[in-house]
Chain A
Amino acid sequence: MNSLLEMRGIVRCFGELRANDNVDLDVRSGEILGLLGENGSGKSTLMKVLFGMLAPDAGAIRFRGKPLAGHTPRDAMAAGIAMIHQHFMLIDAMTVTENVMLGWPAAGRMLRIKEMSARVREASRRFGLDLDPDARVATLPLGRRQRVEILKAILRDAELLVLDEPTSNLAPAEVADLLAILRRLRAENKGIVFISHKLPEVLEVCDNVVVLRAGRVAGRAPVAGASRGQLAEMMIGRDISTRDNSEPPRPPGAVRLAARDISAPGLSSLTFELRGGEILGVAGVDGNGQIELVETLTGLRPARSGSLALDGRDITRASVGARMTLGLAYMPADRSHTALVKSMSIGENLMLRDSRRAPYGRGPFLTPASGAAKARALMADYDIRARDPKVIAARLSGGNQQKIVIARELDRGPSVLIAHQAAWGLDPGATRFVLDRVMALRDAGAAIIYISSELEEVLTISDRIAVIADGGFAGIVPRAEIDMRQIGLWMAGRAA
C-alpha cells in the first residue's frame, strides 16, 4: 500500500473562525480512513480544501507523489480525486448517463451518449450499483442517487474517493449496501476517506480513524482495538451534561393533540395522541416524512383525510393562523428562511406572528412603543445577546437566532409545540439551552412533539419515542421500554 494522499499543516480560516488549524492527514491506497468529528469540527472544510473548492491559508498537499496547490475541482478530478458530497451534486431533471457525462471530457465535445450508457451499465454491474442509465435522477430514491455519485467517481478512474457524511440520508439497509460497495472499492486498491460523525459505521468499515475537534486533530488510531468510548471522547472533548431526563415519568395530562388517520401526500395514515406534560420524540432518518408530518400538523400542508384535534377542537381544516391562535407553536427546521426573516430586526421577528395582537399592534395599526418594550423583555428572558431589538437578525449567531424563535414560540404559552431539528447546527451551549427550555415547557404542562434526525438528542429528551419511516410511525414506545435494536429496525422502514 503506497501513500496516496499527504496533507500537511493545513490551515483555513473564515474570519476569526479557524475551521482547520494545522491539520495533517495521510491516506494510503487500499485504505479506508475515517474522518470523525461533530458539526463544525472542520471535516467538510478540510475536504473542500483537498478538492480545490477552497484555498488553504497555509499547508501543503501531495497526491500520488505530486504536489497539489492552487487547484480547482477540475484539476483535482483530473488528478484522480473524487468527492461525493453530502448533498448530492446531481441534476434531478437529467438521466443517470447525462449526470455522468456532465463536465467529463472523456464523454466528448459531441456527447457519445450510447457509449457512455454502455459504460454506466457495465460499471454498475461490476460494483453492484444497480443503476439504469436512462433513469431520470428525480425518480431515484436517495440511496440510488448516491450511487450515481459513486459511479461518476469510478468511471473517472478516481484513485481517492472522499465521501462526506454518506450515510446521513440512508436507512440502515442502504447503509449496509454502501459499506459493501466501499469494501469492493478498497479491494480494487482505491483509497477512501469516510467522513462521518457516526461512530458505529466508522468502526465497522474503516481501517484507521482521524478525529477532528474544533479544527484540530484530536487523535488518530487504527480501528482495530479502538473503543467507542475512546473515540467519542476524542470527538466531544468534554462532557456535555444536558439535564438528565431519567426522572420517573410523571402522570400524563389531558390529551392536547389528537391525530386520527391523518394522511397527506408523503404521509400515510397516522394515528397518535399527545398529552400535556410529555415530550414525544420522533426519531428517523431525514427524508422519511418528517417535513410532511410537521407541515400537515401545522396546516402548511392540507391533510388529505383524517382528523386533527387540538384541546378537543377540530382543526383539520383550520388555517395556519387559526391553529396558532388556538395554541399551536412551531419551530421549523429551516430556521434561516422559514422561522426567521434574517433581514428584519429582532423585534420584527419576535412579532412575526402576533403583529395584529397586543402589545405589538392594535386594530389596523402597529404599536411600536409597547412592541419594543415587549421585545426587550423577551430578549432578557431568553438570553438573546444583542444591543437592542432593532439589530438585524442576520447579525446574530445561530444560537441567538434560534433563541428568537424559541422566545417567540414559547412566550405565547402554547398548548402544543412542534419542534423540528430545534438544536441543529448549534454549539453545545446553545443546544443545552434549547433542550432545557423545551423540557421546561413540558414541565409547565404543554405537549411537545420533538423531531430530530439526531437519535442521541431524541433519546435524551423524550418521554415517549416514535420512529418515523416512509411517511408513517413504525412504532411508538415509552422511554422505559426502548430497545435500540428495535429502533434501528424501525428506522430501516417498511420498504427495503
Chain B
Amino acid sequence: MIEFLAASIRIATPLLLAALGGILSERAGVFAVGLEGMMLAGAFAATVGAWACGGAGMGIVLALVGGAAIGLAVAIVAVRFRADNMVTGLAVNILALGLTSYLMRILSGGGQPVSIHLTLLPALPIPGLADIPVIGPLLFTQPPLTYLTIVGCAALTLFLGRTQAGLILRATGENPEAVFASGANPLFVRMFAVVACGAVAGLGGAVLSLQQVGTFTDGMTSGRGYLALAALIVGRWTPWGAAAACLVFGAAEAFELRLQSFGVPVSSYIVQMAPYLIALAVLAGIGRSSRLPAAIGQPLHRES
C-alpha cells in the first residue's frame, strides 16, 4: 500500500511541477496550453545537459533554460503579439516535439537518436524524518527534485499570497488595466510569468528524464502537460489544490500499473483511461469556475 502511495507521489511529481508553472501563467492571465511542450523541452535539455556535462546539476539548469525558451516563444507570440493563447500553446507543443526529436538525432551525428543512459537520481532519505513509520518512506525518502517540488508548492503559495510581486501577478490576470494604472506594466508581468512557467514546467520534464526514465525518448511526456493543465484547473488555480489533483491522477495511473498484481479483471486500456476520465469528470462536475482569473486569455490593449 505504501508502495502504491509512493508510486502515486512519484507519478504526480512531474505533473505538479508543470501545474505550478501553469498556475503562474494562468493567474497572470495567459492560458497554459503549452505546458506539454515546455515539459518536453525541459526533459530533453535535462537529458542532454546531464549527458554532455556529466552531472544532473547541469541537466537541471538546462531544463530550466529549455523550458524557459519555450515559454519565451509563447510570451512573444501570445502576449506581445496578442495571438490566441490556446492555439499558440498547441503550436509550441508541436514545435517542441519536432525540435527535441530532431536535435536528439543530430547530436549523434548519425541520424539515430543519440544513445543516452543516465543514472537516475537516487532517493535521498532525510535523516531522522525518514525513519518515521509510514510517512518516512513516503514523504522523506524521495529523490531531490521531489523535495524541490513540495518546497516549490509552499513557495508559490507564499509568493502569490504574500508578496508584492505575487499581488501584481494576480492582479494582471484579473484586470490588467488596473495594473497599468498602478504603475506596473502588465505586458512585462505576463511575459515574465509565461517564461517562468516554462522554466518550472521544464523542471517537471527534468523529473521525468533524470528521476524516472534516465533518458529522452520522442514525445516522452505523452500528454502529461495537458493533464497538468487539467490538474491546475481542478485545483482551482492554487498550488496545494493542484497538488491534490495531481496526486489523484498519479494514483489512477499507479493503480493501472499495479493491475496485474491486484488481479482485477479489467482491461489495461480501460484503466489507462482513468486519469483522463477522472479529469473530465471533475471538470464536468465543477463547470466553469468562478475562480478563473477574470482577464485570462484577453489580449492586452495598450494606449499608444
Contacts and interface: CB of A to CB of B under 8 A. Distances in A.
Given A83-B181, A102-B171, 16 more contacts: A53-B303, A77-B183, A91-B171, A91-B175, A92-B174, A92-B175, A93-B294, A98-B167, A101-B167, A102-B179, A103-B168, A103-B184, A107-B164, A110-B162, A111-B163, A111-B164
A54 B180 CA distance: 12
Given A89-B175, A92-B294, A108-B164, A73 B183 contact: yes
Interface string B91-132: 000000000000000000000000000000000000000000
25 contacts: A54-B303, A73-B181, A74-B184, A85-B181, A89-B175, A89-B178, A91-B170, A91-B171, A91-B174, A91-B178, A93-B294, A94-B170, A94-B171, A94-B174, A101-B164, A102-B178, A102-B179, A102-B182, A103-B179, A103-B182, A103-B183, A104-B182, A109-B163, A109-B165, A110-B164
B177 interface: yes
B183 A74 contact: yes
A189 interface: no
Interface in B120-169: 162-165, 167-168
A111 B183 contact: no
**Interface band, chain B:** 20 to 34
A387 B171 CA distance: 44
Interface in A110-148: 110-111, 113
Nearest to B164: A109
B175 A72 contact: no
Contacts of B162: 110-111, 113
For the complex of A and B, 6 pairs with smallest distance between CB atoms: A103-B182, A74-B183, A89-B178, A89-B181, A103-B183, A91-B174
Nearest to B178: A89
A76 to B, nearest CB: 8
A111 B179 CA distance: 17
Interface string A41-73: 000000010000110000000000000000011
Interface of A: 48, 53-54, 72-74, 77, 83, 85, 88-94, 98, 101-105, 107-111, 113
Contacts of B303: 48, 53-54
Contacts of A108: 164
A85 B168 CA distance: 19
A88 B178 CA distance: 8
- Tell me the interface secondary structure of chain A in the complex: loop
Nearest to A98: B167
A10 B171 CA distance: 33
A109 B158 CA distance: 12
B178 A110 contact: no
Contacts of B175: 89-92
A102 B171 CA distance: 8
A113 B182 CA distance: 18
A90 B170 CA distance: 12
A77 B180 CA distance: 12
A72 B184 CA distance: 9
Contacts of A105: 164
B174 A102 contact: no
Nearest to B161: A111
Contacts of A90: 175, 178
A17 to B, nearest CB: 13
A91 B177 CA distance: 10
A73 B183 CA distance: 5
Contacts of B179: 102-103
Contact of B174 (A73, A74, A93, A113): A93
A87 to B, nearest CB: 8
A108 B163 CA distance: 8
B167 to A, nearest CB: 6
Nearest to A87: B177
Interface string B251-292: 000000000000000000000000000000000000000000
B235 to A, nearest CB: 17
A89 B174 CA distance: 11
B13 to A, nearest CB: 28
A101 B161 CA distance: 12
Contacts of B180: 53, 73
A92 B165 CA distance: 18
Contacts of B164: 101, 103-105, 107-111
A85 B175 CA distance: 14
A116 to B, nearest CB: 11
B54 to A, nearest CB: 38
A91 B169 CA distance: 12
B27 to A, nearest CB: 11
Interface string B46-58: 0000000000000
A107 B162 CA distance: 11
A48 B304 CA distance: 11
B163 A110 contact: yes
A165 to B, nearest CB: 15
